[in-house]
Structures are given as structure tokens and as C-alpha cells.
Structure 1
Amino acid sequence: MQDQSPILEVDRLNTTFHRNGRPLPALRDVSFSVARGEVLGLVGESGSGKSVTLRSIIGLARRYGEVTGQILWQGRDLLPMPDRALRQVQGREIAMIFQEPMTSLNPLLTVGLQLEETLQSHTDLPRAARRDRAVEMLDLVGIPSAAQRLKDYPHQFSGGMRQRVMIAIALAANPKLLLADEPTTALDVTIQAQILDLILRLADEMDMGVVLVTHDLGVVAQTCDNVAVMYAGRIVEQGPVRDVLREPRHPYTVGLMRSVPENLPPRTPLYSVPGTPPGLDALPPGCAFAPRCAACIQPCQQDRPGLSLIADGRQVACFNPVTKAEGNAA
């Protein structure tokens, strides 16, 4: 039986950047957990805080802003760790796939050298074994003639192949948690499906937790066990993916579901959530979604709702959540 105890516990995570002396709260009281072998999806509009969440977990956001709260990794809090100790976790225990492989890979170094650099930093393998491991990883992610392609540069690979190289680098040291920041961005549908299948297969084979950031609710439905919906730096709804997508209870989640076109007649206007997300320097005093919400009531404009448990595993941050029937109709 699979161990369901969490390997990662994020508790009241806050990340604040500063501009001209003004605080810009990018994350506010974000809390979730990930178990070994679990795939958690983070969804929401651009600017909702999904990528900042991943960068805060792995320690990149603290270089440019203030990060508070708790990030418990197998019982150890990562936030107070000095940089040297944190580097022993980055890449070795927690790995990350960034959005754009062409800018993440060094164009002046061969992919073999970039793979071996990761292995040299995070394993004790000798040089010959590192090369063998690099060939093994390229072969594992489905790159033909892996031994020959070690000498190639990133520009000699297609977009889908570069993304596979990024996955190979991320997984080279057998991490226990993978942070995937929109790993299928700008890829065609066929390659997207192959990349997602690859990540899921490797996660299952390696018994690895995955946090997947994406805009695509279809991807979430097909790949994730649980989902957290983010808006303006906060989680507004989370729970088992089947329950959240079938019966969304937060008005924002309902809006996202309605924005997915399905069985529409030709020339039917597409639905979009009215309004635009607020800027980090212009967050309303109450619920950040209140100015765009048709279900807004008086408390929404004054107070910020916290996540409340509404069912087994389901949490919603809303003073006036939609009914189960309304969620079914989304």
C-alpha cells in the first residue's frame, strides 16, 4: 500500500517583493501538501502566483523577495536553511522543470555536459559512470541515439526534444519531488501528450511526488490526483481533482470551468471571466475576486475569507460559495 503521508507540507507561505519601497504580496497564506507518488495541479490565470509558489518552495524567490511561513520537506523546514544546505536539496531531492527549455538550457554547452554537471553536483558517480547515467537518462525520456546526442547543442533539438532534455536533467539525481512549471508550454498537442505521459510514467516508476503548474484544465483532469485553484496569490479552492472539476464551489473555479469551450454551436461567443485580475499593488481589502464576482456579498468587500473545509478533502475560501447544483451546471 502506497504511503500517503506528505513529503512536502507548505503552511501559510507568504512571498512579498518590493518596488520603490512598496510591498507587493505575490503569495498570501498558501497552504497545501504533497504525498509520495501524488500529482498536485496548480491552476489559475497568469499572475495568480503559481510559478512564484514553485520558486518559493525551491528557494529561488528568496533571492529577490521576502518569504515567510513554513516549507516542511520530509520534516525539515527549508526556509531557514542557509544557501549551502539548501543546495543539497535543490536538484538532488527536489527538482524543477522550468517553462521555457530554450532559455533554461545553456546554448553554449552540449546537453551531455549539462547533464553531467547536474550529476557531478548531486551524486558521487565517477566521470565514466556520469556519462553512462547521462546516456541512460536521455534514453529514458525517449531521445533516439542517446549516446550520439550527448555531443549536440540545445539548438540542434526540436522544442519537444529540448523539453525532454530538461526532464532528463531534472530527474538525473532521482529526486523525490518534481516541480513542473508548465512543462508543455508552446508544444503541439501530440508532443504535449507525450511529455505529460512521460512525466506521469516516471513519477510512477520513481514513486515521486509532482506539483504541476498549468493553465489547461483538461491536462489537470487527465493527470492530477488533487488540484489547487489560485487567484491573486491565494488558494481559493482545493481538493480531489474529480470533485473540484465536477462540482466547483468557488465562483472563480466555476468561471474557469465555464471558460472551457465544450460542444458549442458554430459562432457561439466564448465565455470569459469578466474583468481582469488585480495588480499586486492594487489588491482590494476583502476578497480579491470580489470586483469580478456575481455572487459577491457585503462581507466579501470587507474581509478576506480563509479556506474552510466543506467536505472530505474539499476546501473553499468564499463567504458565498455556489451550491452543489450550480457547481454541477458549470
Structure 2
Amino acid sequence: MLLLSVNKLNIRDQKTGKTIVRDASFAVQANTCLGIVGESGSGKSMTVREILGVNPRWIQSDGEIWFEDRDILQDDEKQRRALRGRKISMILQDAMTAFNPIEKMGYQMRQTFVQVLKVTKKEAERLSLDSLRTMNFSDPVAVYKSYPHELSGGMLQRCMIAIALVLKPSLIIADEPTTALDSINQLEVVKQFQYLKELTGTTLILISHDLGVVQRLADHVIVMKDGEIVEDGTVANVFNEPQHPYTQYLVNTRLQLSDSYVKTLQAGGV
């Protein structure tokens, strides 16, 4: 079933007159993961932020974004705000900026569930702790009572996933969720996204420059360069038979890095 359809989306910066995204068209099927890859400035983050309706006021767009049988690009701010969190959630690259530094995690999770789900504070607390347990925290109560700065980047990412687990949005957008993490935390967050997909069947849009993460999580991939989609296909096709020179460059670079890593381990007797 088709969940999201973007048709001929153009995004412009009115301050500079620059066109950031040109004629972007793609579709996202329900219960799948779409990976969006591309270098910095390719337009991938601006595209998904336009889906959420959170780009700055001077960013203008035209085209169509169909979600739940309507073109949400025509919605007013109140309608777009109603979609955010409940229907479409975003997991940010820097998890620290997603939370209020002066409030404990438990309070922030509880307030989110009270406001969005209209449940009691007691029920919101139960939902918070249950979701933290689901994310395999060894001491959910300690996390619940912690301030954001007392938790690692990987733990904060898992808290964001825990919130999404409870809200059960139709679509989760993850913008470079592993970039700021070390390799151990990256692997843990990838595992949690896999678990989230299997547990809830939610639909994901994953933005990442890490082809390994995309290959592991995504079903379908689009490649963006200079504001345009240059390749669109299944993970198997894009990674095994890339058609565009830029995609070929990305895939070959990743293979070279992987080969170098393996050779280094072998040389070291690992």
C-alpha cells in the first residue's frame, strides 16, 4: 500500500534565489524503509523537512506531497503541526538537541504522551518505562530519572526511538541517526531500528551518508546529487548494479574502504 508520494517537488531559497531541490519524485510503500543517500548539500534533508513542514519560512516549495490521501503541501500550519509527532515523527542527527537540557528524561517523555495521546500522567509514566525496557536499557528507571547530558548519544537516540515506539506514527523519518555516534553505538541504534520495524511494522525514511547502514535497513534507495534524484531502485539493484556515475562512485568508494579495513585487520593478525 502506498503511504507517501512526492511528485515533482521543487524547493527554493527565497533569500538567495537558489533552487535546492528540482523535480523530486518518489514513493514510499507502507511497512518498508526508504533510504536517501547523497553528499552534504544534495537536498536530501531539505526534502524530508518539507514533508514534515519544518523548513524556514523563506524556503518555498511547489509540487505535491500526498500522505493519507491528501496533498499535505496544501495544508496550513495547524494541519501540518497535527501530523507531526502523531502521524509523522522525526529522529534527529543530534539527539541532544531534541531534548530540553534542564528537564529529566522521564518528565519530557511523560509530557509528550500526556499531550499527544491524552493519557493520564500515571499511564504516561508506565508507557515511558515500558518503552525504555523495550529498548533494552539495563536500568530504565535510572534513564527515566536522568537529565539528557547524563546519557550518551546512543542512549538518547534509543530514547527517541522509545518515544516513537509509543506514539506509533505511520512514518518515521531518521535524519543521519548514526553520524554523531561511535561504531558501537551505531551498531546498537541500527539494531534498534531493525527491532522497531519488526515490532511495529512502521514505515521508515532513513537519510544517511553511510551506505552500510542504508544497505542493512532499507528496502528501496534513492540517490540525490545537486538537488536532483539521480538513481532510484531496490537496495539490491542500486548496490549491485548502480547505473549513474555518482552512485557507482559511492558504491566503489565504500567497497574500497571495506577492502582496506579487512586488509588492515589481516595484517594485524586479527
Q: What amino acid sits opposite 2:5 in the alignment?
A: E
Q: Gaps (5+ residues) in structure 2?
A: 265-270
* C-alpha distance 69-145 of structure 1, shift in aligned 2 (>3 A): same
SS at structure 2 position matched to 1:212: strand
- 1:57 counterpart SS class: helix
By percentage of residues, which structure has more helix?
A: 2
**Superposition RMSD in Å:** 1.7
Whether 1:45 and 2:39 are equivalent positions in the alignment is yes
Name the structure 1 match of 2:221: 227
Match of 1:59 in 2: 53
Displacement of 1:232? 0.9
Q: Does 1:185 align with 2:179?
A: yes
Aligned length: 261
Distance 2:58 2:84 in 1: 17
Alignment match, 1:164: 158
What corresponds to 2:250 in structure 1?
256
Query: 1:244 corresponds to which residue?
Result: 238
Structure 2 CA distance, aligned partners of 1:102 and 1:55? 19
Offset of residue 156 of structure 1: 0.7
Q: 1:58 touches 1:90 (CA, 8 Å); kept in 2?
A: yes
Q: Deviations over 1:144-170 (max 9, x none)?
A: 221332221001111211111122233
Q: How does 1:245-324 map to 2 (within 5 A)?
A: 245-260=239-254, 261=256, 262-264=258-260
Residue 206 of structure 1, aligned match among 185, 200, 207: 200
| Contact 1:95-1:171 at 8 Å conserved across structures | no
> Would you say the 8 A contact 1:39–1:224 is kept in 2?
yes
Q: 1:146 to 1:266 in 2, by over 3 A?
A: closer
Q: Which structure has the larger Rg over C-alpha atoms?
A: 1
Residues 41 and 226 in structure 2, CA contact (< 8 A), matched pair in contact too: yes
For residue 259 of structure 2, what is the amino acid of its counterpart? N
Separation of aligned partners in 1, 2:65 and 2:14: 22
Segments of structure 1 that go 5 or more residues without pairing to the other structure are 268-330
Counterpart amino acid of residue 140 in structure 2: A
Verify the 8 A CA contact 1:88 1:122 in the aligned structure 2. Answer: no
TM-score normalised by the chain length of structure 1: 0.75
- Which one has more relative contact order, counting CA pairs under 8 Å at least 6 apart? 2
Please, what TM-score do these two structures have when normalized by structure 2? 0.91
Report runs of 4+ in structure 1 exceeding 3 Å deviation: 264-267
Residue number in structure 2 paired with 1:10: 6
1:29 is matched with which residue? 23
**Residue in structure 1 matched with residue 80 of structure 2 by the alignment:** 86
User: 2:103 maps to what in 1?
Assistant: 109
- Aligned residues of 1:16 and 1:65 also touching (Cα < 8 A): yes
Post-superposition offset of 1:109 = 1.2
**Cα deviation code 1:72-91 (max 9, x no counterpart):** 11112111111112222100
How far off its partner does 1:62 sit? 5.3
Contact persistence 1:97–1:180 (CA under 8 A):
yes
2:182 partner letter? D
Tell me the residue number matched to 2:267: none
- Change in CA separation of 1:37 and 1:79 when aligned onto 2, cut-off 3 Å: same
Correspondent of 1:128 among 122, 132, 135: 122
Equivalent AA in structure 1 for residue 50 of structure 2:
S
Match of 1:75 in 2: 69
